Structure 1
Amino acid sequence: MNTPLVSICIPVLNGEKYLNEALSSIELQSYQNIEVIISDNGSKDSSMDICLEYKTTSKYPVRIYDHHTMGIGENWNNCVTKSNGEYLKFLFQDDVLYPNCVEDLIWIFNQYEDIGLVACKREILTDNPESAWQRKWIVRYGDLQEKMFQNDWDKKILDRSILKKKEFFKDPFNKIGEPTAVMLKKSIFNEVGLFNTELKIVLDIEFYYRVLIKSRIIIVNKTLVGFRLHEEQASKKGVNVHKKEFDLYINILIKEYFWELSISHKMQVLRRKFIQLLKF
């Protein structure tokens, strides 16, 4: 198997609670040609101490960048620009990679050279099974592809035509997965640009739309990562898209993707835009 360099990118902000577990999961990878890129957004807790200690013990090259920004998108983008790998694998500070994650995703890239992104299934890790919001989140977002791929499946190949399917824009809006659940060719950023820093909640979703315009995406029906829910995380705040961001999202859909949408979805976004205009 071809074994290109993979950059595991970790944007950090006050992540001390689960950061050790995230970093330890890198050391368990069956794939060995890895570098680790850590971009810290001004953490006030012990996150940097944990990262510096990890750098001294890791079997992989570890590069740590102090990057104070005003948003998560800028921190994600800093990971991208600092990376050297042919492929990028995001790992959020709360999450974990399962041992075969990198190897299995690279294997898919080796089989399909024309794809820009591979996504996998994720296990939901919860710190409080009795939490009402976490139970509600799991019901709503636990299986992102359930409504789109209802039969038994091994992998699905998506291209820009998926943007015309009305099911693609039904809740949950993210049918691909959080960044922890995807691996990307670094070259895809040269084609589609970096993450949109104006967005805070749906910036990964909008980025996937851009990838689909230029390249195919594969989703494999393997659980290769753990995605954690806990009481302090952004997911709790983002169960409902904030109104301001939703308005911006509608504007982006109309400006950048309107002709890629189904007729029914075109009508929906135009109605939303009309409602926006009536409020001014």
Structure 2
Amino acid sequence: MAIPSKEVPVSVCIPVYNGALHIRDAIQSILNQTVIPQEIIVSDSGSSDGSENIVREEACKAQATLIILPTKTRGMVANWNSTIRAASGKYVKFLFQDDLLHSTCLEEMVKVAESDKRIGLVFSPRDLFVEPSVEDDWITRWLQQHQNLSAGFGNLKISQPGSLLLRSPDLLEQPLNKIGEPTAVLVRRDLFDKVGLFNENMRQLVDMEMWVRLMATSHVGYIPAA
């Protein structure tokens, strides 16, 4: 693979807690990007499995600036927010410890975001994987229902008003989160100053509640499945 030379104004935010099993592969997916993020921000919420050491070992190979926040037990959502506060890029891109980014993810998401200055949130389909050893009918049904979340919005364009999506007749039908997990999203950093950070008092649907706030204030960009 050719070494990327173009930098994009993206802060890749990685909240970590005992992620040693998968974090190396997650960071490798950043190193394999076709563009270079402005910075990689890691916030470890008190891991006891050596996650931070793996992060330092792998992330230092990146051409991007590496910022590792002081280790502190924060709680899941507070850990997300700590990376946002530290982000200085124009865009925030989450990468959770057991997720992987397609090699063109950053390039394609930034391209869509820059195509319309009204866009504050870009999302794309994602693939779900489970451990090969896991065989469960409930999980199979859940995967079938949640693989193609955006279908509930109908025919999406590359850019559309978020308020239009909030008026979708199927908005409150299952699955409720039709955008996806934070890893599936790119957000313009300044919008967090406008709508606030993730709600640390919530236990469920934390990401969906944030997407609703963002959709109410900006256009939404969409990258269809290849």
User: Is TM > 0.5 for Structure 1 vs Structure 2?
Assistant: yes
Maintained 8 Å contact 1:176/1:219 = no
Q: What is the match of residue 3 of structure 2? A: none
Larger Rg: 1
Q: 2:220, 2:27 → 1: CA distance?
A: 27
Match of 1:200 among 203, 219, 223: 203
State the number of aligned residues: 220
Does the residue aligned with 1:136 lie in a helix, a strand or coil? helix
Q: What is the match of residue 144 of structure 2? A: 139
Report Cα offsets for 1:226-270 as digits up to 9, x if no partner.
Answer: xxxxxxxxxxxxxxxxxxxxxxxxxxxxxxxxxxxxxxxxxxxxx
1:38 maps to 2:38: no
Per-residue deviation at 1:89?
0.5
Pairing of 1:53-132 with structure 2 (within 5 A):
53-128=57-132, 130-132=135-137
Identify which range, 58-67 or 15-24, moves more after superposition.
58-67
Per-residue deviation at 1:32?
1.8
Maintained 8 Å contact 1:55/1:61 = no
Match of 1:179 among 174, 182, 200: 182
Maintained 8 Å contact 2:159/2:219 = no
Maintained 8 Å contact 1:7/1:37 = yes
Report Cα offsets for 1:108-149 as digits up to 9, x if no partner.
Answer: 011111111000110112213523343122012111022332
Report Cα offsets for 1:38-77 as digits up to 9, x if no partner.
Answer: 0001111121110121243222221111343452111010
Q: 1:57, 1:163 → 2: CA distance?
A: 41
Does the residue aligned with 1:168 lie in a helix, a strand or coil? coil
Q: What is the match of residue 26 of structure 1? A: 30
CA RMSD of aligned residues (A): 1.9
1:189 maps to 2:192: yes
TM-score relative to the length of structure 1: 0.73
Q: 1:56, 1:169 → 2: CA distance?
A: 43
Q: What is the match of residue 157 of structure 1? A: 160
Q: 2:147, 2:126 → 1: CA distance?
A: 8
Match of 1:222 among 206, 211, 225: 225
State the one-letter code of the partner of 1:127. Answer: E
Maintained 8 Å contact 1:158/1:212 = yes
Does the residue aligned with 2:150 lie in a helix, a strand or coil? coil
Task: After the TM superposition, list the runs of 4 or more consecutive aligned residues in structure 1 that deviate by more than 6 angstroms.
Answer: none
Per-residue deviation at 1:156?
5.6
Is the alpha carbon distance of 1:71 and 1:4 closer, same or farther for their aligned partners in structure 2, counting shifts above 3 Å? same
Q: 2:100, 2:204 → 1: CA distance?
A: 21
Indicate the structure with greater helix content.
1
Unaligned runs of 5+ in 1: 224-280
> Identity, % of aligned pairs?
32
Maintained 8 Å contact 1:72/1:200 = no
Q: What is the match of residue 52 of structure 2? A: 48
Does the residue aligned with 2:12 lie in a helix, a strand or coil? strand
Unaligned runs of 5+ in 2: 1-5
Maintained 8 Å contact 2:119/2:159 = no
State the one-letter code of the partner of 1:145. Answer: S
Does the residue aligned with 2:97 lie in a helix, a strand or coil? coil
Maintained 8 Å contact 2:26/2:97 = yes
Q: 2:74, 2:89 → 1: CA distance?
A: 26
TM-score relative to the length of structure 2: 0.90
State the one-letter code of the partner of 1:140. Answer: Q
